[in-house]
Structure 1
Amino acid sequence: MNQPSSSTDAKPITIFTIGFARKSAKEFFEKLQKAGVKRLIDVRLNNVSQLAGFTKKKDLEYFLRVIADIDYVHFDDLAPTKDILDSFKKQKEMDWADYERRFNALMEQRSPETHHLPNEFDHACLLCSEATPENCHRRLVAEHLRRRWGNVEIKHL
């Protein structure tokens, strides 16, 4: 098991986050390019939905490579479970505080910091659909990794 590095001995890394909602393709890809993103990490549970528009998995992978020379990966271990997501979005059984608590518990259980390396995330951008990071799990993932690895700067695009 990888041990989290302290901020004094870890190479600093920058993790970006972005949501595609309320963004045109032009705005989306320009934000990624301007920030210097090298890899897009898709953290959505469902990345092939018709609602995803230009960010459907196969299309997005192509656009990122051709438009911006950015790698694409999908890490489903950083996505919420269907149960958590449905309880929050569809059934409205929980508020954001409950969702955040359940998702953070899921991250504790999954321990992504033990099977992903910090360099996989340096200048990478976590993608989800929410327009802003405040009520989105991509922010929670980035914050979890910062707590575990230290020396992580988070920038929301």
Structure 2
Amino acid sequence: MKLYTIGFTQKSAQQFFEALKHAGMKKLVDTRLNTTSQLSAFAKRDDLRYFLQALCGASYHPFPSLAPTQGMLDDLKKHRGAWEDYAPRFQALMRERQAIEALERSFFEEPCCLLCSEASPEHCHRRLVAEALQRRWKEIEIIHL
């Protein structure tokens, strides 16, 4: 079972949607707290829902339970390089919410992609979510687009 992740920052709309289409994406899971971000117009929730369906034949699924809190995001932005503090706080939040346990395996059987804004997964919570899902279901292969 493949689980993709993607960030939209530093990607054009063409690069973003072509990557999803090429991967055969059927579901995009939005793990952002702020789904109406101004960073890229194509990544706003309502526009994204439309473009995914029209360009990729994929559906849009916001999962706010997989997003960090505003306070966590603010702390990370204020203290660049504070990933070492952020990651364990985010993982604790996921455990507290029981966010991963609440997800159904069957949802992820079609090609799914976790979305966030960060350009690369190294310092992004979408990687932490993907790894938590992989710990739950060992057969998941994580692919970062």
TM range (shorter): over 0.9
Residue segments in structure 2 that go unaligned for 5+ positions in a row: none
* Post-superposition offset of 1:93: 7.5
Given candidates 10, 16, 22, the residue that maps to 1:34 is 22
**Aligned in 2, Cα 1:48/1:100: closer, same or farther, shift over 3 Å?**
same
Given candidates 66, 72, 79, the residue that maps to 2:67 is 79
CA distance in structure 1 between the partners assigned to 2:37 and 2:15 by the alignment:
21
**What's the C-alpha RMSD, in Å, of the aligned pairs?**
1.3
CA distance in structure 1 between the partners assigned to 2:137 and 2:9 by the alignment:
29
* Post-superposition offset of 1:149: 2.2
Paired residues in the alignment total 144
- For normalisation by structure 2, the TM-score amounts to 0.94
The aligned residue for residue 137 of structure 1 is: 125
Any conservation in 1 of the 2:7–2:118 contact (CA below 8 Å)? yes
Q: Structure 1 residue runs of 4+, over 6 Å off? A: none
The aligned residue for residue 105 of structure 1 is: 92
Identity of aligned residues (%): 51
Residue segments in structure 1 that go unaligned for 5+ positions in a row: 1-12
Quick check: which has more Rg, 1 or 2? 1
Q: Deviation per CA, 1:10-56, whole angstroms, max 9, x where unpaired?
A: xxx21100000110101100000111111000000001122232100
CA distance in structure 1 between the partners assigned to 2:3 and 2:106 by the alignment:
10
* Post-superposition offset of 1:92: 1.6
The aligned residue for residue 63 of structure 1 is: 51
